[in-house]
């Protein structure tokens, strides 16, 4: 029997999350491992870009390798993330003891210059119900509706490269989040083409179990039989595995997930992992095991980010570890054209090479992964490869998802450009734009998109 005293002791030794950010940086353990210059850079850059880290993530950092350590790069602002001009502007304000209001106004101005809303997300994808716009939802691809619960718009730690950074620094909270599960349900009832709901954030797993329960159970109700897959986009399995182990409502969470996973729908955890080190710790692997035993499928996605995972070895080792632990590698994304992109971006040609090098070293079980993929305005565009077309070097591209479903699976070409880092920098091969292949193929009766690639009629003829 446990005495009250030892019960108390156990309770105290349970890890409770402690956050460190700009506001309490001086209290952060390991601060003495950083130079005065590094601390200054963190203070300056975090006026503009999100910064929050917890004690578990601090423990994953190899402090002897700082600043090169990938987990440090993942969670700590670096001086070069701002342009020298922006950095100096903020540094001068801090030095002159400007008021918090002044600092914030200057930061806002810089944030606006960093393309805070990439890919027309705000304008194009907000659905409507009876003529009313539904904030907190996005419906871009036929099958999948994204839902941003209001209480899930923060994370257990912040990624320095986050493409939703504007939301985290408070620029779009109100417009992008929803409390209304009723409108979601009503919308879904009228959209029978939707099979997937993706609950995302921020990080929905930041929500207490009882709040998450409201959202999840609403999706199990009669009338929503066409919703076959419920997905939760989260980095919590990496950033705070104790969410599934020892948090006060961890057991209730696992029971809830088990309930959803046994409802006849797939419950997919769309887990965000950037580096194998996030999966090597013992709590990380125990959290994965608990999720799997609750019946969740765990699929893994990550952007390719310079300074963090821009080598084939990192991806190979990560995909192998994921596969061994029963996780499914899913997407390698190209880092979006927002925020500190200059610091993180990798040219598309290099991204494809990294993908290919890693992909060919893993077994078929890990080749469920697709990439590198750009989430651009017209859709998710895969860089399939580099080839020769009529004596010209080209990128072979393909839509994995498209606003216009006719384009999905259709290969198309762009002029090879070793420096290009995003779709908008690519040029079509001919003057007629990118997607002129679709009508041409349809006219030739080759509707099956993959045939056009595997049978290679267009491709081979043109390269002769
Ligand atoms: C990636 C994405 C999805 C999901 O696409 P899948 O290929 O089905 O994983 C849905 N909506 C948006 C806006 C996306 O970017
Ligand atoms: S966990 Fe996701 S939403 Fe949160 S900071 Fe990282 S990338 Fe952004």
Could you report the per-residue pLDDT of 357-373, keeping only the tens digit for each?
Answer: 999 999 999 999 999 99
Tell me the CATH number at 348.
3.20.20.70
Residue 13 located in a structural domain: no
Residue 6 located in a structural domain: no
Same domain, 193 and 330: yes
Q: How far is CA 304 from CA 119, 209, 358, 433, in A?
A: 18, 31, 12, 28
Q: How far is CA 172 from CA 166, 177, 325, in A?
A: 7, 9, 37
The total domain count for the chain is 2
Helix/strand/coil for 316: helix
Q: Which of 199, 401, 405, 423 to mutate to test the pocket of ligand 1 (most atoms within 8 A of CB)?
A: 401
Angle at 402 between CA 400 and CA 404, to 5 degrees: 140
Same domain, 104 and 139: no
Beta strand 229-234 pairing with 266-272: parallel
Domain boundary among 61, 91, 112: 112
Residue 271 located in a structural domain: yes
Q: Which residue's CA is minimally distant from atom 7 of ligand 1?
A: 401
Same domain, 108 and 199: no
User: 368 in ligand 1 pocket by Cβ < 6 Å?
Assistant: no
> 395 φ, ψ to 5°?
-85, 135
Handedness of CA 278, 282, 283, 287 (dihedral sign): positive
What pLDDT does 169 receive?
Answer: 67
Interval 45-57: pLDDT, tens: 999 999 999 999 9
What is the length of the chain? 464
- Around ligand 2, the residues with Cβ closer than 6 Å are 155, 158-159, 162, 164, 201-203, 235, 272
What pLDDT does 164 receive?
Answer: 74
Q: Which residue's CA is minimally distant from atom 7 of ligand 2?
A: 162
Same domain, 92 and 131: no
Q: Which of 122, 141, 176 to mutate to test the pocket of ligand 1 (most atoms within 8 A of CB)?
A: 141
What pLDDT does 384 receive?
Answer: 97
Domain boundary among 67, 89, 112: 112
Contact 11, 301 (CB under 8 A): no
Domain boundary among 50, 83, 112: 112
Name which of 188, 196, 272, 191 is nearest 230 in CA terms: 196
Same domain, 279 and 364: yes
Name which of 219, 195, 189, 200 is nearest 143 in CA terms: 195
Name which of 235, 202, 209 is nearest 56 in CA terms: 235
Residue 5 located in a structural domain: no
Ligand 2: atom nearest CA of 202 is: 3
Give the chain's residues under pLDDT 70.
Answer: 1-13, 119-123, 169-179, 432, 436-464
Same domain, 345 and 399: yes
Same domain, 175 and 276: yes
Residue 91 located in a structural domain: yes
Residue 459 located in a structural domain: no
User: 370 in ligand 1 pocket by Cβ < 6 Å?
Assistant: no
Contact 45, 11 (CB under 8 A): no
Same domain, 80 and 220: no
Residue 1 located in a structural domain: no
Same domain, 137 and 36: no
> 2 φ, ψ to 5°?
-90, 130
CA distance 212 to 160: 26
Residue 14 located in a structural domain: no
Same domain, 290 and 427: yes
Name which of 420, 262, 398 is nearest 337 in CA terms: 420
The rounded Å distance from CA 227 to ligand 1 centre is 15
Domain of residue 66, residue span: 19-112
Same domain, 222 and 96: no
Q: Which residue's CA is minimally distant from atom 6 of ligand 1?
A: 401
Contact 406, 437 (CB under 8 A): no
Same domain, 221 and 331: yes
The rounded Å distance from CA 295 to ligand 2 centre is 24
């Amino acid at each position: 029997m446990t005495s009250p005293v030892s019960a108390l002791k156990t309770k105290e030794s349970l890890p409770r999350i402690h956050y460190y950010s700009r506001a309490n940086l001086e209290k952060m353990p390991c601060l003495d491992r950083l130079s005065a210059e590094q601390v200054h850079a963190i203070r300056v850059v975090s006026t503009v870009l999100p910064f929050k880290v917890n004690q578990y993530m601090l423990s994953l950092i190899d402090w002897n390798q700082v600043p090169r350590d990938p987990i440090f790069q993942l969670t700590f602002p670096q001086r070069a993330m701002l342009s020298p001009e922006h950095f100096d502007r903020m540094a001068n304000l801090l030095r002159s003891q400007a008021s918090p209001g002044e600092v914030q106004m200057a930061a806002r101005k810089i944030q606006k210059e960093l393309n805070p809303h990439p890919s027309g997300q705000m304008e194009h994808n907000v659905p409507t119900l009876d003529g009313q716009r539904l904030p907190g939802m996005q419906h871009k691809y036929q099958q999948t509706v994204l839902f941003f619960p209001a209480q899930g718009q923060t994370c257990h730690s912040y990624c320095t490269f986050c493409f939703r950074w504007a939301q985290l620094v408070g620029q779009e909270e109100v417009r992008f989040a929803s409390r209304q599960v009723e409108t979601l349900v009503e919308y879904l009832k009228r959209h029978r083409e939707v099979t997937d709901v993706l609950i995302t954030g921020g990080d929905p797993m930041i929500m207490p179990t009882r709040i998450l329960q409201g959202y999840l159970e609403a999706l199990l109700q009669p009338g929503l039989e066409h919703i076959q897959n419920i997905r939760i986009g989260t980095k919590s399995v990496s950033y705070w595995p104790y969410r599934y182990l020892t948090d006060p409502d961890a057991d209730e969470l696992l029971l809830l997930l088990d309930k959803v996973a046994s409802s006849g729908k797939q419950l997919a955890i769309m887990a965000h992992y950037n580096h194998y080190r996030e999966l090597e710790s013992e709590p990380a692997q125990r959290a994965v095991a608990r999720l799997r035993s609750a019946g969740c499928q765990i699929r893994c996605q990550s952007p390719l980010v310079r300074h963090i995972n821009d080598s084939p070895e990192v991806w190979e080792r990560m995909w192998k570890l994921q596969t061994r632990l029963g996780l499914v590698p899913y997407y390698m994304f190209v880092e979006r054209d927002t925020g500190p992109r200059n610091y993180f971006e990798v040219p598309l040609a290099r991204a494809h090479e990294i993908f290919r090098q890693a992909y060919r070293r893993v077994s078929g079980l890990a080749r469920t992964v697709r990439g590198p993929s750009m989430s651009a305005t017209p859709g998710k565009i895969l860089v399939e490869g580099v080839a020769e077309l009529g004596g010209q070097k080209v990128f072979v591209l393909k839509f994995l998802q498209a606003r216009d479903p006719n384009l999905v699976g259709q290969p198309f070409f762009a002029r090879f450009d070793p420096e290009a880092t995003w779709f908008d920098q690519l040029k079509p091969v001919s003057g007629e734009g990118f997607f002129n292949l679709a009508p041409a193929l349809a006219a030739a009766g080759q509707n099956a998109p993959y045939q056009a690639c595997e049978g290679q009629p267009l491709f081979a003829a043109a390269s002769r």
